[in-house]
Structure 1
Amino acid sequence: MPVDRLGTRDVAVRSLALVGALHRPVTLTVTDLRGGWEQHRAEVTFDCAKEGPQHHTFEGPLLREVVADAGPAFDVRRRKDRSRFLLAVTGGDGHHAVLSWAEIDADFGDAPVLLATRMDGRPLEPDGSQLVMPRDRCGARYVSSITRVWVGAAPVPPYTGG
């Protein structure tokens, strides 16, 4: 069983649930993320509204690879189908960020977005993984202690006749 940082008592290990339009929804821990996919490294600098400039090195799997293994409910052969999907990533504090599948898809933006399992060499258990947006200059989409990644099609905007 997990123990706290002092090794004195049991603590809950945070997990993230991959939910929504997926053929194989799944719940994963940081340990699962570290063991199930290739780990990528990103050295990042971003501006944090509360703490100013931040410089960190993160390691973890690519978000697109983890979600792809859960089987998004789109036709992978159709780029237009893939371009309509969104991901909403929610953290333990309720903060959430939205990405488009096209941002992370290798045929579109190919952004190397990570579900970090380590920050500056420190494992992120039991707090949970962190969303890392290496191309973002501000830290608003760096979601900590991820609890949920929702995947789904964007709604069609209503036609207004213009």
Structure 2
Amino acid sequence: MSQSLTQPVADPVAELALTGDVARPSRLTVSDLLAWPQHQERVSFECATSGVQHHHFAGPLLHDVLSDAGPAFDPARRKDRLRFLIAVTGTDGHHALLSWAEIDPDFGRAPVLLAVSIDDTALDRPGPQLVLPQDRCGARHISGINAIHVDGGYAAWR
């Protein structure tokens, strides 16, 4: 008599693709994002569907992660990094666009996080969340990030 053994299938771990004008494109998980210094932010923002939200997020700064990927700044061009844009996409289809200047310590210095936890709950399965503590509205808080694309393609500005 044969017996069928089924093993429980673990939920897949979410992964984001970091692509674009970077020297080291990669695929990153929440576990990978723990390699960078972790920052904590208590954030309040307005949500159009559920009112004011209050959460505690932890994760690396977006600037640190993207800098490590080696953005293709032209060292011969003064302030070349200011032409770079960052497109973030979530698994639910939401998108946000940021400029490099927003997150650069020499300019906007916004403490934008790639959150690996929300309210002490790990985001391994749903994926990291983009958190912009400075935003009053939560529209750019992208859940379940599956892609970040760095684009310095404004050739017309060169």
TM-score normalised by L of structure 2: 0.90
Distance 1:43 1:119 in 2: 10
The answer to whether 1:21 aligns with 2:29 is: no
Asked if structure 2 preserves the Cα contact closer than 8 Å seen for 1:131 and 1:143, the reply is: yes
Asked if structure 2 preserves the Cα contact closer than 8 Å seen for 1:76 and 1:82, the reply is: no
Paired AA for residue 151 in structure 2: G
1:57-113, Cα deviation, whole Å (9 max, x unpaired): 100000000000000001368552011100000000111100000000000000000
| Corresponding position of 1:126 | 125
Q: 1:46 to 1:28 in 2, by over 3 A?
A: same
The answer to whether 1:49 aligns with 2:69 is: no
Q: 1:157 to 1:16 in 2, by over 3 A?
A: same
Counterparts of 1:127-146 in structure 2, within 5 Å, are: 127-146=126-145
Distance 1:78 1:122 in 2: 43
Counterparts of 1:107-122 in structure 2, within 5 Å, are: 107-122=106-121
> Which SS does the other structure have where 1:93 is aligned?
coil
1:114-141, Cα deviation, whole Å (9 max, x unpaired): 0000101111111100000000000000
TM-score normalised by L of structure 1: 0.88
User: Alpha carbon RMSD of aligned pairs, Å?
Assistant: 1.7
Runs (5+) with no aligned partner, structure 1: 1-7
Aligned residues between the structures = 150
| Corresponding position of 1:3 | none
1:37-75, Cα deviation, whole Å (9 max, x unpaired): 000000000001111100001000000000000000013
Larger radius of gyration: 2
User: Percent same amino acid at aligned positions?
Assistant: 57
Runs (5+) with no aligned partner, structure 2: 1-7
| Corresponding position of 1:12 | 12
